[in-house]
Amino acid sequence: MKKLLVVYYSQTGQLTRIVDSVLKPLADSGQVQLVFEQLRPRTPYPFPWTALEFTDVFPESLQQRGCPLEPLQFDPDAHYDGIILAYQVWYLSPSIPIAAFLQSPEAARVMRNRPVTTIIGCRNMWLQAHEKVKAAIVGHQGRLAGNIVLQDNAPNLLGVISITAWMLTGRKDPFLKIFPKAGISDDDIVNAARFGPILLNALHNDRWDDVQSELIPRGAVRVVPSYILFEQRISKIFAVWAKFIGRQGGAKAPARKPRLRLFIGYLFTAIFLIAPLATMVTFVLQHLKHDKIRSLVTYFEKNSYNAGLCGHCPPASAVHKPPAGSAGSNHTNPRSIRKSAI
């Protein structure tokens, strides 16, 4: 029987549903042992958020500062035929619990020489976050296998309003009965099961090199050309804001609140005033740089990694290390675990 390690963090439960759907063919086959590791921050992140709570995680998210995790339950020294790493995107970065895991000694040990397939659940921007995740996997000498991305397909500005209402109220229903339902559609989540047979075949044959080329025709990734340049520009601005806020202390420091309020004001201004103009400028630039953009689209689709290609994504060795004791080990009783979503 093949053995697959599944590491994930789901704050709202949406990513848990995605993981379950993708892996349903494997679970139903009776030929794969799925070892689930749901990451558990020692101090759970709230849901729904308040506006200040939501923005307070911004500097640490962008700078990949991991949070303390409850002891991991899987055995990193056990045999696994492959790894699934499923994550959300927070501020152009993997969520803080995922960043903490990627910086842990357990991740370094378990990923070494093993194929790692990533599953992303996000609103619409994932490119910069995935560069950071790929850098960590490669830094641990893991093998990049497949990448599956499910995203919110609502128009950008409408999607921003819907997702903000969901984050602040905890309700996914169409906001004011006008805006689209927040998050990834139920149909997209259910239909993600179509990727499972590809992963099952790779497990059986131990052939992971062709997984992404098989996933692409099935719609596993959709790279929006304009977001390539847009994310690069936003990441530079975000870096300035993260340093500005961080100078007033660490997470939850009261002295950060005035600067967090300024950042909230910037976000709304950027989304509703700057973003439409930036989109037009990006549209022009992508036509002027057509060949370069086309090559980058292919690069992201194929789940390749080139440390020098994405100039704003730090290598694995440059990310911040987690606080001492952030993810302890508990291997006396390794087992498959599944906690309900936070």
The tens digit of pLDDT for each residue in 101-139 reads 999 999 999 999 999 999 999 998 999 999 999 999 999
Domain around 206? 2-329
| DSSP string computed for 103-157 | TSHHHHHHHTT-EEEEEEEESS--HHHHHHHHHHHHHTT-EEEEEEEEE--S-HH
* Structure tokens that stand for 150 in this block: 């499910």
Position 137 in a domain:
yes
What was the pLDDT predicted at 177? Answer: 80
Is the pLDDT assigned to residue 45 strictly greater than 50? Answer: yes
Nearest to 239 by CA among 308, 312, 306, 309: 312
Asked whether residue 171 carries a pLDDT value surpassing 80, the answer given is: yes
CATH number at residue 144: 3.40.50.360
3-state DSSP percent of the chain in helix, strand and coil, to 5 = 50, 15, 35
Q: Is residue 65 part of a domain?
A: yes
List 69's β-bridge partners, or say none.
41, 327
- Is pLDDT above 70 for 145? yes
The answer to whether residue 336 is domain-embedded is no
> Is the confidence at residue 327, as pLDDT, over 70?
no
Cα 56–chain centre separation = 18
Residue range 200-236, pLDDT digits in tens: 999 999 999 999 999 999 999 999 888 888 898 899 9
In-domain check, residue 191? yes
Q: What's the pLDDT score for residue 223?
A: 94
Kindly report the average pLDDT of the chain as a whole number.
88
Residue 336 near residue 80, CB atoms below 8 Å: no
* Sequence letter at residue 175: F
Say how far apart CA 281 and CA 283 lie, in whole Å: 5
The answer to whether residue 339 sits within a structural domain is: no
Q: How many other CB atoms are there within 10 angstroms of residue 280's CB atom?
A: 11
What is the tally of structural domains in the chain? 1
Query: Is residue 158 in some structural domain?
Result: yes
Radius of gyration of the chain (CA): 19
Q: Give, as one character, the DSSP assignment of residue 272.
A: I
Strands 69-72 and 143-151: unpaired
* CA-based nearest residue to 322, from 46, 57, 101: 101
Whether this model's pTM surpasses 0.85: yes
Question: Does the residue 145 lie in any domain?
Answer: yes
